[in-house]
Chains A and B, each alone.
Chain A
Amino acid sequence: MTAPAAPPSSPPALTPVELGRWAWRQLTSMRTALILLFLLALAAVPGSIVPQRDIDAIAVGRWQDSHPELTPVYEKLGLFSVYDSVWFSSIYILLMISLVGCILPRTRVYWRGMRARPPKAPRNLGRLPESRSFAVDVPPASALSAAREALRSRRYRVDVHEGDAGRGGSVAAERGYLREAGNLLFHVSLLVVLVGFAIGSLWGYKGGVIVVNGQGFSNSLSQYDDFAPGALFGPDDLSPFEFTVDDFRVKFLESGEQAGMPTEFSADLTYTERPGAPEKKYDLAVNHPLSLDGGSVFLVGHGYAPRVTVRDGEGNVAYQGPSIFLPQDSSFASFGVIKVPDALPEQLGFEGLFLPTYGFSMERGPYSRFPDALDPVLSLLPYRGDLGLDTGEPQSVYELDKDKLDVFEKDTGADFRLDIALGQTKQLPNGAGSITFDGVDRWVKLQVSDSPGKRIALGGVLLAITGLLGSLFIRPRRAWVRVREEDGRTVVELAGLDRSAGGDLGDEVDELERRLRERLAAGALPDPDASPVTTGTNPRKE
């Protein structure tokens, strides 16, 4: 936008105060609000296209690897974390400032308007969008009070202006004051939501951890695989709960066209809320989180951890236990590594796939036919040499550092690969050792998080909707009745005005007319017959 509302000619030099006022008026104008809303919508788009660090750090890494030239540019622009970026924040902060600057004066205007009297009847009621006019034989004064009563009964606020000496007068009426109140409530509630959201992102935290069946977790920083604290979160704020994953159950569809789809998974937890508190059981499932004071535990994923025993070249057990393998696809073919630093004379490493239900085809090689562990096989490439664990640099438990590792080779020179079925033991070449596939454990991926302020945010949205309903559906209206004497009869004029995009004004004025005639009839002494003179519907008179 090139300053659409700037003064047309170059302005005479403004004093700083004037300039400030001018800028404030611009910022808090409806047009600016509109433009900022647009900018906000636009600014949100890139975050749905470029992978976001807070959502999927792995996807970000993958993207960066394949786009090395764009990466630094995107990094500068904050495109990998759009919703924390300076430009995104500045748009919504400007919007919020604009909002406050808009709400305050409107509240003042509203407050005054609420206490003001309904505006006096315009001179010519017949020119209003809806008007009616008829003559009756009741004294003007009683007609006037009938009009007042009729309008009151429709919950209008009324203001009677008597004419001279009982010769008629007019009634001004207004209703629907709550519409603007609803609108203000809606806009204020948006601020409440933002506050709730901010509390959550400043003092909240979110951490992920993979726990193998039978193992435990206690809520402290060192236990997490990944942890994202809010800016003002301190590690001491973690509440000291503990739990053990006793068992994990999963069911897959076994037949039909959607075979292999998971239908149900849940984990049995035993937990304590703080050290020394009594133990409790919980059935943790998707959509059934464990909510504790200061954090909730969610089940977000699962996978396999094959258990193996590795003997080294000297015949000693160098490694025994489960290793976490990460699922690669919906068949749960899972990738992982096993590191055996204690093996002698050389360290051993294994890398490869766990296939829960083994299948083989010439095109694909070994693959998994079904996600459940029906016929599990480990398909591994063994390595020997130096695992590189002594360099002091932290290493991922899901990858081998192959700088100083060598594969075993077959006599043909091809890589030596092991396919090990459950219970089998396979020897490594040259007496380097053996590996036994002992069993299959499952692991669950748990997310522990706390978002304080979520109740504030929720309350804010609910208030906002309440306000919105008022703002959209309450019809602010004005109505006027004028009563005058003409040729010995009393002429009653009635007109209405819709102050919003509501409509149905005709029905409203009809209803007012009905009520008015009812009261006139009741009040009229000799002749209750009230003959219509004209009915007007502008802009199209019929």
Chain B
Amino acid sequence: MSTADFAAFSNNAIAFASVVYVFAFVAHLAEWAFARSVPVTAPAGSSAVAAAEPVAVGTSGAPVTSGVDTPGGAAGASYDRRADEGRAEDGRAGRGPDAGELSGRALSVEKLGRIGVALTVLAALLHLAGLVTRGLGSDPVRVPWGNMYEFSVAGAFGVTLIYLVLLRKYALRWMGVLVTAFEVVVLMLAVLLLYVPAGPLVPALHSYWLVIHVVAAVIGAGAFAVGAMASALFLVKARAEARGTLRTTGYVARLPESSVLDRIAYRVHAFGFPIWTFAALVAGPIWAEYAWGRYWGWDPKEVWAFITWVVYAAYLHARATAGWRGKGAAVIALIGFATVLFNFVGINLFGSGLHSYSGLD
């Protein structure tokens, strides 16, 4: 195939991927619509169990979170194990009720959920193909992240990738509806507003540090995105639990209990934070030193990468500070993700710094 063919294929693949993400989103929506009338059989969502348990957790009633020296993580551990056992027995991913007890509607819920995941995998493959051919579609061949359109597409892929990688480990299927919605929105915006034709890189981007820096930033930001979704749902679930408005059916009821959501959020953030540290405070400065003769110059992009870093450090601290763990920490995590988005959108489009590579005039 010629360069132009690759470039054209890339555009098609991204368009297809968007459509498949839409289908995946619809499947997950339908999953949850059906679930409205299906009671949760396993008490996956009942916080009463955790709260009533005599294990000393310190904070009575408040969502059980795990910090220094609190054994609260245990609730989550048992949750994970449960998911594993469920899978081992009937080959079912995640939190679903036992096969034998499934009513017709419950089966549909299960089926739709699995269709959603399968479609997400398909969309991710198309998405990846679109990225790879984008690189091949430029002359000379290069990494597919040199302007804002490509950053958006690559960044969105990072989010799907992290989600799919962690899907089984943490039984994340409840997050599918958010992830696919996110992908649809980002890819649409990228294609409609940010598209520029494939072309070579501006010289400032000619560096293998570009590869290292951007890969790390995309993975870190992807983890933060997934973490933000878990934190947001944690807030929803914790509120329902605290108010006692938890019903036995529907989306919120089927979410893992808040302590589990909190722990998943923590783990994903803990994974993302060192990678972000590397991207923003090691690879970025080294590259900046080569390209611009200074490793740190408070360029707007650098400022916001730093702000993001500080906010997530605050998140990790909040989890170990009385009065902040749980809700406070989750809010900080959401602020952190807002800073990631602003850095990406705000600075690239409106900024004037050295980092403005949007490729749009």
Contacts and interface: CB of A to CB of B under 8 A. Distances in A.
Contacts of A429: none
B282 A501 contact: no
Given A30-B317, A40-B310, A130-B77, A48 B278 contact: no
A33 interface: yes
Contacts of B314: 34, 37-38, 41
A286 interface: yes
Contacts of B111: none
B304 interface: yes
B270 A473 contact: yes
Contacts of B54: 127
Contacts of B59: none
A451 B294 contact: yes
Given A55-B299, A465-B278, A501 B78 contact: no
Contacts of B61: none
A287 B206 contact: yes
A298 B66 contact: no
Given A54-B298, A258-B199, A538-B53, A44 B75 contact: no
Contact of A258 (B197, B204, B339): B197
A468 B277 contact: yes
Interface in B295-334: 295-300, 303-304, 306-307, 310-311, 313-314, 317-321, 323-324
Contacts of A473: 270
Contacts of A288: 290
Contacts of B297: 54-55
Contacts of B290: 287-289
Nearest to B309: A41
Nearest to B85: A542
Interface stretch (A68-76, A388-396, A492-500): A492-500
Contacts of A257: 196-197, 199
A209 B75 CA distance: 63
B281 A461 contact: yes
A461 B300 contact: no
Nearest to B65: A501
A537 B81 contact: yes
A451 B273 CA distance: 27
A542 B85 CA distance: 12
B293 A289 contact: yes
Interface stretch (A7-15, A160-168, A371-379, A502-510): A502-510
B284 to A, nearest CB: 11
A265 interface: yes
B76 interface: yes
Contacts, number: 208
A503 B76 contact: yes
A261 B200 contact: yes
B37 interface: no
A465 B49 contact: no
Given A44-B306, A506-B78, A468 B299 contact: no
Given A465-B282, A539-B53, A300 B73 contact: no
B291 interface: yes
A59 B299 CA distance: 13
A454 B289 contact: yes
A264 interface: yes
Nearest to A472: B270
B203 interface: yes
A34 B311 CA distance: 9
A361 to B, nearest CB: 18
B298 A52 contact: yes
Nearest to A82: B298
B264 to A, nearest CB: 9
Given A287-B203, A503-B77, A127 B55 contact: yes
A104 interface: no
A465 to B, nearest CB: 6
Interface residues of A, number: 76
Given A34-B324, A258-B197, A503-B263, A462 B202 contact: no
A48 B203 contact: no
B39 interface: no
A129 B74 contact: yes
A451 B288 CA distance: 13
Given A300-B293, A504-B77, A458 B273 contact: no
B298 A287 contact: no
Contacts of A127: 54-55
A265 to B, nearest CB: 6
A307 B196 CA distance: 37
Looking at chain A's contact residues, the main secondary structure is mixed
Contacts of B313: 37
A262 interface: yes
Contacts of B68: 499-500
Nearest to B81: A506
B56 to A, nearest CB: 9
Contacts of B353: 55
Contacts of B352: 56, 59
Nearest to B352: A59
Contacts of A263: 200-203
A286 B203 contact: yes
Nearest to B293: A298
Nearest to B66: A501
Given A197-B296, A257-B197, A129 B71 contact: yes
B274 A472 contact: yes
Nearest to A81: B298
A48 B347 contact: yes
Interface string B258-276: 0000010011001001100
A48 B353 CA distance: 9
Interface in A35-66: 37-38, 40-41, 44-45, 47-49, 52, 54-56, 59
Contacts of B69: 499
B274 A498 contact: no
Contacts of B298: 47, 52, 54-55, 82-83
B295 A457 contact: yes
A130 B71 CA distance: 10
A458 B277 contact: no
Given A503-B77, A506-B81, A44 B310 contact: yes
Interface string A181-206: 00000000000010001000000001
Contacts of A504: 77, 80
A76 to B, nearest CB: 20
Contacts of B351: 48
A296 interface: yes
Contacts of B270: 472-473, 501
A37 to B, nearest CB: 4
B277 A465 contact: yes
A285 interface: yes
A181 B245 CA distance: 43
A506 B85 CA distance: 12
A468 B298 CA distance: 24
B250 interface: no
A462 B300 contact: no
14 contacts: A37-B311, A83-B298, A193-B281, A256-B197, A257-B197, A285-B206, A451-B294, A457-B285, A458-B282, A458-B285, A461-B281, A468-B274, A501-B263, A540-B49
Q: A-B pairs with the 7 shortest C-beta distances?
A: A539-B53, A129-B74, A298-B293, A48-B300, A501-B66, A258-B199, A48-B303
Given A55-B298, A502-B73, A538-B78, 16 more contacts: A40-B310, A45-B303, A55-B353, A128-B55, A129-B73, A206-B293, A206-B294, A258-B197, A264-B203, A287-B209, A454-B289, A457-B285, A499-B71, A500-B68, A503-B80, A537-B78
Interface of B: 49-50, 53-55, 65-69, 71, 73-78, 80-81, 196-197, 199-204, 206-207, 209, 263, 266-267, 270, 273-274, 277-278, 281-282, 285-287, 289-300, 303-304, 306-307, 310-311, 313-314, 317-321, 323-324, 339, 347, 351-353, 359, 361
